[in-house]
Amino acid sequence: LTFPLLSVTLLVSFGSSMLYGYNLAVVNSPAEHIKAFYNATWSQRFGHGLAPGPLTLLYALTVSIFALGGLLGSLLVGVLVERYGRNGALSRSALLVLLAGGFMGFSRELGSPEMVIIGRSITGLHSGGCFLGCAQPIARGSVSYSHFWGDGEGFVFPTGSVEGIFICLGVFSAQVLGLPELLGKDRFWPLFLSVVIVPASLQLLLLHCFPESPRYLLIERNDICGATKALRRFLGTPDVQDVMEEMRQEQRSLSSLEMVSVWQLLRDRSLRWQTLSVAVVNAGMQLSGIDAIWFYTNAIFENAGIPDSQIPYTTMGTGAIEVVAGLIGCFTIERVGRRPLIIMGFCAMGVCSAGITISLLLQAALPWMRYVSVACVVGIIAGFCMGPAGVPFLMTAELFMQSHRPAAYIVGGSLNWLCNFTVGFIFPFLQMSAGAFCYLVFCGVCLLVALYVYLVIPETKNKTFMEISHLFA
């Protein structure tokens, strides 16, 4: 593994996937401080504070608007990549993060809750374009070749799971910085939200040290000289003719392909089960309750009866376990297979969601049940990171041929972001109205998705598209 190739993989993941994870968890710790700021600002403007309902609504919008920005970013990323290239698209997305950090960092000084909401939506726009919108996977995949990363025998560098590890690290870093000894105090929450500018700045500064994607230069720009130079830099060898020939063959095959639109994909009866499977798995990934855990961890532990002084450290502990679970999933996915991991992950999440409900109902009579709630939260996170976190993206690529993949990614990505928004916006109200029973909704979703995967989706590991289509038929 050459240093330039490893460096660009880690740099892109650091500035994209890690930021995505950070933004998922950053609103958890300062929730009460942000609500107090909203209430104080409302009092200054209108002479009275916000009632609990509207205040919860405003904060839920702050949390969930990140997903609406992500949806827009995932739809626009294709235009950015086509016009500016992979490095150019990532650099412009990093500039958006700097703008968002400025909005959130100066929001309290200017007395503007709107700046927090706008900043959150811009960070979502960045995450949609750079991570789930596929600019980040495309940038990494453009310099990832089967003969270089591994051919299936011996050790294979787990490029497909690098994003999942960095998401876990991003969540964990937000939990660590949210400790009272660091940025968890009331006066520091604008700085806490604007920390996103640090990885974005590093990516913006260092990305120009690496050449543009060789695949992009050759296939989309037809720049043979530039692609050759970039390949020599990334692979660390002057002999790149074999790789160039592979990409030329891909260029010729792509030129003869007619890309399918989303509407054509949805109307194609021969692919209806594959399309439905992508929709079920991507929607289930977000409706499983993992976003509620990330967005509202402190509130969940507070309702479970954990003492306020212990909540930040308990939250940080769950983040550490999440990183370990992500590493385990990363290095086992090629050995165990996609189907067992995703079934076991959703089943574990469903059982643990039911466990939270039972522990909350019994904690008045049995005080030690609060620790069962913590264990169940850890189980949900571990189950998600070991299976549902990364498998849906791999499955989407493996269930469709090249001409159908862009449309399939749009379907899956759009559902992913819409369900993310739904959970982030509705969960506080669901928790207020249903109490402990709200987690049974997530339990039902997880078990139904696991059942669907068990009955419908075959194992896709080491199978061709035609073999998978035959299994579906």
> Max alpha carbon distance in the chain (Å)?
73
Amino acid at 32: E
Which pair of tokens denotes residue 359? 């522990």
Tell me which residue of 190, 207, 77, 181 sits closest to 130, measured CA to CA: 77
Q: Confidence band (pLDDT; 50, 70, 90) for 149?
A: very low
Rounded to whole angstroms, how far apart are CA atoms 137 and 120? 23
Residue spans of alpha helices (H) in 106-188: 113-127, 135-141, 146-149, 162-177
Residue 136 has what pLDDT? 45
User: Which segment of 8-22, 77-91, 188-202 scores lowest on mean pLDDT?
Assistant: 77-91
Q: At what angle do helices 311-336 and 369-386 cross, to 10 degrees?
A: 40
Residue 191 has what pLDDT? 95
Which residues have CB under 8 Å from 21's CB, separation 6+?
Answer: 166, 167, 168, 169, 170, 171, 172, 173, 174
Query: Higher pLDDT residue, 90 or 332?
Result: 90
% of the chain with per-residue pLDDT over 90: 27
Please write the tens of the pLDDT for every residue from 169-215: 888 999 999 998 999 889 899 999 999 999 889 888 888 888 877 87
DSSP state of 14: H
Query: Higher pLDDT residue, 60 or 130?
Result: 60
pLDDT greater than 80 at residue 374: yes
HSE value, Cβ hemisphere, 13 Å, CA-based, for 304: 28
Place of tokens 């979703």: 445
Q: Does domain 1-210 have CATH number 3.40.718.10?
A: no
Rounded to whole angstroms, how far apart are CA atoms 332 and 158? 10
Q: Does domain 263-472 have CATH number 1.20.1250.20?
A: yes
Residue 161 has what pLDDT? 57
Q: At what angle do helices 113-127 and 17-25 cross, to 10 degrees?
A: 150
The string of DSSP codes covering 173-231 is HHHHHTSTTTT-SGGGHHHHHHTTHHHHHHHHHHGGGSPPPHHIIIIIT--HHHHHHHH
pLDDT greater than 70 at residue 142: no
Residue 235 has what pLDDT? 79
3-state DSSP percent of the chain in helix, strand and coil, to 5: 80, 0, 20
Rounded to whole angstroms, how far apart are CA atoms 210 and 194? 27
Instruction: Kindly report, as residue ranges, where domains of CATH 1.20.1250.20 are found in the chain.
Output: 1-210, 263-472
Query: Higher pLDDT residue, 103 or 471?
Result: 103
Q: Confidence band (pLDDT; 50, 70, 90) for 135?
A: very low
Please write the tens of the pLDDT for every residue from 376-406: 988 898 888 877 877 777 777 778 876 787 7
Residue 293 has what pLDDT? 85
Question: What average pLDDT does range 276-281 have in this prediction?
Answer: 92
Q: Confidence band (pLDDT; 50, 70, 90) for 443?
A: very high
The string of DSSP codes covering 266-320 is HH-GGGHHHHHHHHHHHHHHHHTTHHHHHHSHHHHHHHTT--GGGHHHHHHHHHH
CA angle centred on 61, ends 434 and 23, rounded to 5°: 105
Average pLDDT, the chain: 82
Which pair of tokens denotes residue 283? 């929607």
User: Which segment of 70-74, 275-279, 303-307, 448-452 scores lowest on mean pLDDT?
Assistant: 303-307
Tell me whether residue 63 is exposed, middle or buried, using C-beta atoms within 10 angstroms of its C-beta: 0 to 12, 13 to 18, 19 or more.
buried
Rounded to whole angstroms, how far apart are CA atoms 389 and 391? 6
Residue 133: helix, strand or coil by DSSP? Answer: coil
Tell me whether residue 52 is exposed, middle or buried, using C-beta atoms within 10 angstroms of its C-beta: 0 to 12, 13 to 18, 19 or more.
exposed
User: Which segment of 128-142, 302-316, 349-363, 402-416 scores lowest on mean pLDDT?
Assistant: 128-142
CA torsion sign, 302 to 294 to 313 to 195?
Answer: negative
CA torsion sign, 121 to 124 to 128 to 130?
Answer: positive
Tell me whether residue 222 is exposed, middle or buried, using C-beta atoms within 10 angstroms of its C-beta: 0 to 12, 13 to 18, 19 or more.
exposed
Q: Are 234 and 2 in contact (CB under 8 A)?
A: yes
pLDDT greater than 70 at residue 147: no
Q: At what angle do helices 405-434 and 391-399 cross, to 10 degrees?
A: 150
Tell me whether residue 251 is exposed, middle or buried, using C-beta atoms within 10 angstroms of its C-beta: 0 to 12, 13 to 18, 19 or more.
middle
Rounded to whole angstroms, how far apart are CA atoms 226 and 228? 5
- Taking the chain, what is the end-to-end CA distance rounded to the nearest angstrom? 40
DSSP state of 237: -
Residue 101 has what pLDDT? 94
Altogether, the residues listed in the chain come to a count of 473
Q: Are 145 and 244 in contact (CB under 8 A)?
A: no
Q: Confidence band (pLDDT; 50, 70, 90) for 106?
A: very high
